[in-house]
Amino acid sequence: MTTDPLRVILADDHAVMRAGVAALLAAEPTITIVGEAGDGREAVELAERLEPDVALLDLRMPVLDGVAATSQIVTGPAATRVLILTTYDTDSEIERAVEAGAIGYLLKDTTRTQLVDAIHAAARGETVLAARVAEKLVARMRRPAPVNLTSREIDVLNAVADGLSNADIGKRLVIAEATVKTHLLRVFAKLDVSDRTHAVVVALERGLLPRPD
């Protein structure tokens, strides 16, 4: 039993790049390029009109960028999957694209075989990530969650780092010793530590306190 080739649209503001990708896929009988766009707005219009299986989008395009176009395409009436194909692999770019609904994120150094396989996987609803992109996402997930200390908590922690007792910290900051203890307990909870020394160590490691000269 034969299956119809996957219908794909390409969107990239560089005509040479579009032509190169189209040429890579031209010899693939399981994929048909049904439309090309030079900006994100055109990509959205093509997706709405042609209802392709996969939209292959660049990230940075005029009129409407790849992230905004992705968001509109995946929330449109067609079940089009969006696959980002770009040169940019910064954490912020990847995160924005994924949050917008892109099912995959490839870099433009991908091979023809990898691209074809990714398009088929995307059409099946499978997440596709370039190896470098996957590594960045894993590293980001393993990174400790950001800690937000108040300015007063940082003042107290700085005083602890200077070796001051709670009483002396209270005198320096003109607050009650009981208030100092309350601030420290909050700092311990936020940093997931149980004593003053570890609080200072972790704060230094995370850049919450300036390192001593």
Q: Which pair of structure tokens corresponds to residue 21?
A: 């990708």
Whether 36 and 71 share a structural domain = yes
Q: How many domains does the chain have?
A: 2
Choose among 87, 171, 92: nearest CA to 137.
92
pLDDT of residue 78: 82
Q: Which residues are registered as beta bridge partners of 6?
A: 31
Whether 22 and 95 share a structural domain = yes
Whether 79 and 181 share a structural domain = no
Q: Residue 140, Cα to own-chain centre: how many angstroms?
A: 9
Tell me whether residue 160 is in a domain. Answer: yes
- Between residues 88 and 168, which one has the greater pLDDT? 168
Which residues lie below 8 Å from residue 72, measured CB to CB, with a gap of 6+?
44, 64
Give per-residue burial for 48-67: e unless 16+ CB within 10 Å, then b.
eeeebbbbbbbbebeebbbb
Q: Which helix (H) or strand (E) holds 55?
A: strand 54-57
On whether the pTM is more than 0.95, the answer is no
- Between residues 135 and 60, which one has the greater pLDDT? 60
**DSSP helix/strand/coil, 186:** helix
Neighbours of 126 (CB within 10 A): 12
> Domain range holding 175?
151-205
Q: Is the pLDDT of residue 1 over 50?
A: no
pLDDT of residue 132: 81
Whether 78 and 124 share a structural domain = yes
Residue-wise pLDDT for 2-58, tens only, equals: 588 999 999 999 999 999 999 999 989 999 999 999 999 999 999 999 999 999 999
- Between residues 209 and 19, which one has the greater pLDDT? 19
Q: Are strands 104-107 and 6-11 parallel, antiparallel or unpaired?
A: unpaired
Tell me whether residue 53 is in a domain. Answer: yes
Q: Using the 3D structure, point to which of 94, 125, 142 is the last residue of a domain.
A: 142
Residue-wise pLDDT for 60-109, tens only, equals: 999 999 999 999 999 988 889 999 999 988 877 888 888 899 999 999 88
Tell me whether residue 38 is in a domain. Answer: yes
Whether 83 and 124 share a structural domain = yes
C-beta of residue 184 within 8 angstroms of C-beta of residue 160:
yes
Indicate the residue type of 195.
D
Whether 17 and 85 share a structural domain = yes
Question: CATH number for the domain including 200?
Answer: 1.10.10.10
C-beta of residue 26 within 8 angstroms of C-beta of residue 76:
no
Give the integer Cα–Cα distance in Å for 97 and 165: 49
Tell me whether residue 213 is in a domain. Answer: no
Whether 114 and 198 share a structural domain = no
